[in-house]
Structure 1
Amino acid sequence: MGLSNPIPESWQLVFIVPEVCDSVCEERWYLLNQSKIALGAYSERVEVALYVSTSSDAKWVEALDIEHKVLVLPEQELPIADQDYLLVDPLGQWVIRYPEVDSEQAVSQSKGLISDVRKILKLSRVG
């Protein structure tokens, strides 16, 4: 990712916080947290984190029960968009990016994310 890794001991499921977090944003955040729970025994190796920028919805982030890591994105151009999910390895490298989808596809995307993360964690020796 070209950035220092603020959670070096864990894999990270990351949510990119948009400028305004509406109901779709909240649903995506909820599904990401449920995906971590659905990982079962593998969930101990994964942290859920928020990536925020200067344009992110700060009020929404503050209103959350912050047991999650909040990470600040640099002001450089990155190949990500608001409401994307990222899987980041313990070395700080982006492994997979899941782009924003509409509400009808969100559950299906979360199931795919769970399947992908399980496979990766099963094969990985880091984190």
Structure 2
Amino acid sequence: MSGSNSSAPGSGAVPDSPLNFSVHSLPSPDLADGQRRTAAGRLRMLLVLAVCAAPVIASYVTYFVIRPEGRTNYSELITPGRPIPAELGLRTLGGEPVAAAALRDQWLIVVVGDAACDKTCEDHLYLQRQIREALGREKERVDKLWLVTDAGTPRPEVMRAISIGTPAAVLRVSRERLSAWLAPAQGQALAQHIYLVDPMGLWMMRVPPNPDAAKLKRDIEKLLRASASWDQPGRPAR
């Protein structure tokens, strides 16, 4: 019996002919689909943030835009509120870094000034203390903050004054970084105002220069009433 033929019968193939291979490219990723997914994720995140902020916005609108019973605010409402920058560069007077998030969870009455603390600065710090004390049982929802905008050392007599009762927090920050968050009215300097910041870290009111104590107290009382439904007890008063 003769040896077998390796070619299939009737194939007509030439045994020594080379084999041909077709090379097909792999399908490329769908970049457009990935971009759509990213955009959808960002939209969902924004919707969640909007839902969380809705009670806050509604309370401010009720008290300071709709103005029920003809009431008006003395301080200037900042809309939209400006969130505290994560990279504000806060430090203690001793130079230790402080996270911006540490300023959240309490209402803040903010005074701005350099370490020398001129008469305007002293007046603001005194008013800050007096108004907080005048809030009665609601004062525990409010903290006092002095932002020092230079590298100087505050005078001992000023530090003693702001330590009476519940001490004010004192932090150092550069004017340049602070200007990304707080801003004066046109024609005014940053230190001419007192600033009100809500527990979410939003700067939302700017007090006029040479503030009227009674009118400012009324503004803060309205803020505390407006936020009563969502403002939870925050960090302990210092």
Matched residue pairs, number?
120
Q: Quick check: which one's strand share is greater?
A: 1
Return the offset for 1:46.
0.2
Higher relative contact order (CA 8 A, sep 6+): 1
The correspondence of residues 27-46 of structure 1 with structure 2, limited to 5 A, is 27-46=123-142
Instruction: Tell me how far apart the structure 2 counterparts of residues 83 and 37 of structure 1 sit (CA, whole Å).
Output: 22
- Structure 2 residue identity aligned to 1:68: A
Return the offset for 1:23.
3.1
- Structure 2 residue identity aligned to 1:112: K
Matched, 1:122 2:222: no
Relative to structure 1, the CA distance from residue 92 to residue 62 in structure 2 (aligned partners, 3 Å threshold; closer, same or farther) is farther
Instruction: Tell me how far apart the structure 1 counterparts of residues 111 and 193 of structure 2 sit (CA, whole Å).
Output: 6
Among all aligned residue pairs of Structure 1 and Structure 2, give the percentage whose two residues are the same amino acid: 28
Q: Is the 2:109–2:197 Cα contact (8 Å) retained in structure 1?
A: yes
Q: Is the 1:6–1:71 Cα contact (8 Å) retained in structure 2?
A: no
TM-score by length of 1: 0.78
Relative to structure 1, the CA distance from residue 26 to residue 2 in structure 2 (aligned partners, 3 Å threshold; closer, same or farther) is closer
Report the equivalent of 1:113: 216
> Structure 2 stretches of 5 or more lacking a match?
1-82, 86-99, 185-189, 233-238
TM-score by length of 2: 0.45
Structure of higher CA gyration radius: 2
- Structure 2 residue identity aligned to 1:114: K
The runs of at least 4 consecutive aligned structure 1 residues that moved more than 6 Å come to none
After superposition, the C-alpha distances for 1:30-56 in whole angstroms (9 at most, x for unaligned) are 11110001111210100011011126x
Relative to structure 1, the CA distance from residue 112 to residue 61 in structure 2 (aligned partners, 3 Å threshold; closer, same or farther) is farther
Question: CA RMSD of the aligned region, Å?
Answer: 2.3
Return the offset for 1:64.
0.6
> Structure 1 stretches of 5 or more lacking a match?
none
After superposition, the C-alpha distances for 1:54-83 in whole angstroms (9 at most, x for unaligned) are 26x532378413422113334333413114
